[in-house]
Amino acid sequence: MGTLIKQELYKLTHKKGTWIAIGIMVVLQIIPALVQKADSEFFQLSSLISNDYLGGGLYLFIMIASAASIIAMEFQYGTIKQLLYRQYYRSQVFISKLIVIFMQLVVLKVISTIMTFTLTALLFPSFDWDQKIEGSQTLLQLYFLGMGGNVLVTVFLLSVVILIATLLKTNAAAITSGFIGYFVSMAASSVLLLLINKWHWLRFNPFSMLMTSSQIISPDMSQATLMSTPLMITLTFVYTILFTFIAYFSFRKRSV
């Protein structure tokens, strides 16, 4: 297993796209920060910081592309055969990929967080992280709550992307499907809330879990989702595990 993880890390770190994506993410964090410094009315500073200077959302798209690629490319180029011929089990190959995907997610999130605090300290040294935002919670507390919620929802979304990647034949198709699925589900969130209000049982559908991070920050959303925050967090974990298992069985049964 350790050898497989090292191989996956080697492939990931030696792809030019990996470093280009990180560079783009960092640059796209710097630009809004400089714009805000030049014109304080362009963005709301607290909102900008809470979203990692708009770069926080970019790591999600990087992860969708990476998660789809790490699975689909093995079948597209036939390299999965080499791994299986070396007497590795498919379960070992699959788990090693999941571990590397999660490691990449953590690294990207750490980079975006470091950039957020660095840019804030350099450009907005008087910014007060202890200011009250929601009740007795400070902006710093909400920032880390939001970070935890975003990571949770991202892991859930990646489980779906990985499942799609095991079903499609090409890397491009898997990535495109992941992006389209994300945008469609986010665009349909307002419609979904209306449907939940009419048919309460719909609140348990997987797409509702994409609103978990928002509800962690704003618990009042429970009036719209008709679920408590602990329940949404639990269901997000459950659906993540479920889709991951389905993805594994799809990966296991797919012909090479």
Per-domain boundaries in the chain: 2-253
Nearest 5°: CA angle at 55, between 52 and 61? 130
d(C-alpha 115, C-alpha 109), whole Å: 10
* Residues ≥6 apart with Cβ < 8 Å to 143: 49, 50, 129
Q: What are the CA-CA distances from residue 10 to residues 53, 144, 243 (Å)?
A: 30, 31, 27
- pLDDT of 78 reads 57
Structure tokens at 76: 């597209």
Residue 239 pLDDT greater than 90, yes or no: yes
Residue 213 pLDDT greater than 70, yes or no: yes
What contacts 24+ positions apart, CB below 8 Å, involve 231-235?
A: 232/208, 233/152, 235/204, 235/208, 235/209
Higher pLDDT, 172 or 141: 141
Structure tokens at 209: 């879990």
What's the mean pLDDT in 109-117?
A: 91
Residue given tokens 């805000």 in the structure block: 36
Tens digits of residue pLDDT in 15-74: 888 898 889 889 989 988 888 888 777 778 888 888 888 776 788 888 888 888 887 776
- pLDDT of 105 reads 92
SS3 content of the chain, % helix, strand, coil (to 5): 80, 0, 15
d(C-alpha 56, C-alpha 72), whole Å: 25
Query: Which of 31-35, 177-181, 225-229 is the least confident region?
Result: 177-181
| pLDDT-based confidence at residue 161 (cuts at 50, 70, 90) | confident
d(C-alpha 170, C-alpha 173), whole Å: 5
Higher pLDDT, 81 or 246: 246
Tens digits of residue pLDDT in 132-141: 776 677 888 8
Q: Tell me whether residue 139 is exposed, middle or buried, using C-beta atoms within 10 angstroms of its C-beta: 0 to 12, 13 to 18, 19 or more.
A: middle
Q: Which helix or strand (DSSP H or E) is residue 160 part of?
A: helix 139-167
Give this prediction's pTM: 0.88
What's the mean pLDDT in 110-116?
A: 91
- pLDDT of 50 reads 82
